[in-house]
Structure 1
Amino acid sequence: MATSTAVHHARAGRPTGSPAFRRVLMHAFLVLLCAAMIYPLLWMARGALAPENEIFNSTTVIPSELVTSNVVEGWHANPPGFGRFLLNSAVVSLGAVIGNLLACTLAAYAFARVEFPLKRIWFAAMLATVMIPVHATLVPQYTIFTVLGWVDTYLPLIVPKFLATDAFFIFLLVQFMRSIPRELDEAAEIDGCGHLRRFLTVLLPLMTPALATTAVFTFIWTYEDFMGPLIYLADIHRYTVPLGLRMFMNSMGESSYGQLFAMTTLSLLPVFVVFMIFQRRLIEGIATTGLKG
């Protein structure tokens, strides 16, 4: 009896194995990991407010002297002004978000709730498009948009979103709809609701987390897209933010790094704002998607 009591006290006295100690170690590791991830952003923000000759001469995140010339000169460095690039990106991103929300939700409803011939085959074909490299479709798409006269407009960047071309979001919304009980659809059908009314009044209000996830990822991916605007836009007044940032580097590879860092920091603010606003819905949508096969 005395031996078992001694063993019990010995085990109780070992703090290294306690849940509290492991929790402290885990939080310390996460803090270090977060610091390592956020350091490049802080260093870039420091470069936006530091003198040009000091940017690459220090690894600290606090400049020895605060200057605003990088922001002012970078904002007006190119003819339209960087504000025009931000406005152009907002227009393209907003159009893409609206298109994906409308088209992908309707396509997802068809796959999740409507029975039609060869449904599984069409669903598999839709998923297979995810594996097609975007470079394989560039030439055919550019040829089509050239014939339509859409080159050097925003139409090639926005109109395809209204045709449910993003299979990833269709699959995400289908999986979320499958987690909603079909009894709700059946009750609405008994009340005389057709497919459109069931979709609008029953399913759509319950899909807020998945819709927020679709909207946030569509905004971020469209806002950061470089290749699409590079291919289809020629007029500098229609350039988006990625093309505007590219203009700070000349053909010789030289760059005004202070202005570049300043405008890059400003261009990240819309992404941070959107993410912070929809953070809770985004996490909820990702966590609850795919609960049912």
Structure 2
Amino acid sequence: MKAKPLKKLIYHIFVGGFAVLLLYPVVWLIVSSFKQSEKIFLTAESLIPKPFTIANYGQGWEGFGDYGFDTYITNTTIYVVLVLIGHLISCSLIAFGFARLKFAGRNFWFAIMIMTLMLPYEVVMIPQYIIFSQLDWLNSYKPLVVPAYFGHPFFIFLLVQFIRTIPRELDEAATIDGSSVFGIYYRIILPLIVPALATTAIFTFYWTWDNLLGPVLYLNSPGKYTVSMALRMFLSNETVSNWGAMFAMSVVSLIPVFVIFFIFQRYVVEGISTSGLKG
């Protein structure tokens, strides 16, 4: 009986220490955003800012030239929302087809779709760039947004596994009542896969919000830059980098991420755990 409290204490100490280890970089980032830039990387400097300054937030929010940091947040928000809508529509429709419809080569095409998960982005990056260049889509959001409306293999697989946990008797009952295939998808399947859709939306938000490589490849005009590109602009190889402003705007860019996580974290757990119940 005495061993259980001891094991529980050791467990909580271990987990708490591991949590502190993981959270320390975030704490350091937040604290450093209130330090003067020249004192951030001094080894003799304590973790507590001395002196405490909020000037970094004012400098960072001013942005660059004619564009304030609010412009980059607006651009990123529009970009994220468009990709989010594309993933929710396309992935749910494709997953419904793989999970419920019978067509020639279904298993073959599903296997091909799963195999694309093994392809690193660097493999398709150059061919995609050539295609989008020939379409005259460079320096626009089209190369970043349009592919989202053709599905994402990871989310399709997640939704397929979730749909397979839904009894087919519901489809049969809807068919008897005169519902079409699209009616089954819209009225039966879609409301029941909300947890998996929420997981898809949250991961899409995370991956799109901090995406740097895609915008760097396709966006050239500063007025179209995203948050991740704007943060990179605070660093300079020729002059002094404004680390304080960059850390301050990094904190600002993390606020939506934290808010989304704490509000919808239960959907992430539910969507992922339930998706593996039936193969």
Q: What is the TM-score when the length of structure 2 is the normalising length?
A: 0.95
Work out the CA distance in 2 between the residues paired with 1:208 and 1:30. Answer: 31
Larger radius of gyration: 1
CA–CA distance in 2 between the matches of 1:272 and 1:81?
23
Do the aligned partners of residues 198 and 60 (structure 1) sit closer, same or farther apart at CA in structure 2, a change above 3 Å counting? farther
Indicate if the aligned counterparts of 1:43 and 1:60 stay in contact, CA closer than 8 A.
no
Q: Secondary structure at the residue paired with 2:193?
A: helix
Question: Does residue 31 of the first structure (1) align with residue 16 of the second (2)?
Answer: yes
| CA-to-aligned-CA distance 1:182-230 (integer Å, 9 cap, x gap) | 1111111111111111111111111111001000001110111111000
* 1:292 equivalent in structure 2: 278
Task: Point out where structure 2 has 5 or more consecutive residues left out of the alignment.
Answer: none
1:86 and 2:73 aligned: yes
In structure 2, relative to structure 1, the CA distance for the partners of 1:174 and 1:253 (3 Å cut) is farther
Shift of 1:64: 2.6
Distance across 2 between alignment mates of 1:250 and 1:109: 48
- Look up the equivalent residue of 1:251 and give its one-letter code: N
Structure 1 residue aligned with 2:190, among 204, 218, 228? Answer: 204
Counterpart amino acid of residue 73 in structure 2: L
Q: Percent identity?
A: 42
8 Å CA contact 1:109–1:199 kept in 2: the answer is: yes
Shift of 1:120: 0.4
Assess if the C-alpha contact under 8 Å between 2:30 and 2:251 holds in 1.
Answer: yes
Unaligned ranges ≥5, structure 1 = 1-11
Q: CA deviation at 1:71?
A: 0.6
Do the aligned partners of 2:39 and 2:45 also contact (CA within 8 Å) in 1?
Answer: no
Match of 1:4? none
Secondary structure, aligned partner of 1:288: helix
Q: Does 1:189 align with 2:175?
A: yes
Q: What count of residue pairs does the alignment treat as equivalent?
A: 277
The 5 A counterparts of 1:43-62 are: 43-57=28-42, 60-62=46-48
* Runs of 4 or more consecutive aligned structure 1 residues displaced over 6 Å after TM superposition: none
Question: What CA RMSD, in Å, does the superposition of the two structures yield over aligned residues?
Answer: 1.4
Q: Of 99, 105, 112, which residue of structure 1 is paired with 2:99?
A: 112
Normalised TM-score (structure 1): 0.91
Q: What does the per-residue CA deviation read over 1:43-86, in whole Å, with 9 as the maximum and x for residues that have no partner?
A: 11111111223312356543232211111011114121111111
Report if aligned partners of 1:43, 1:59 keep a CA contact under 8 Å in 2. no
| Residue of structure 2 equivalent to 1:131 | 118
Match of 2:205 in 1: 219
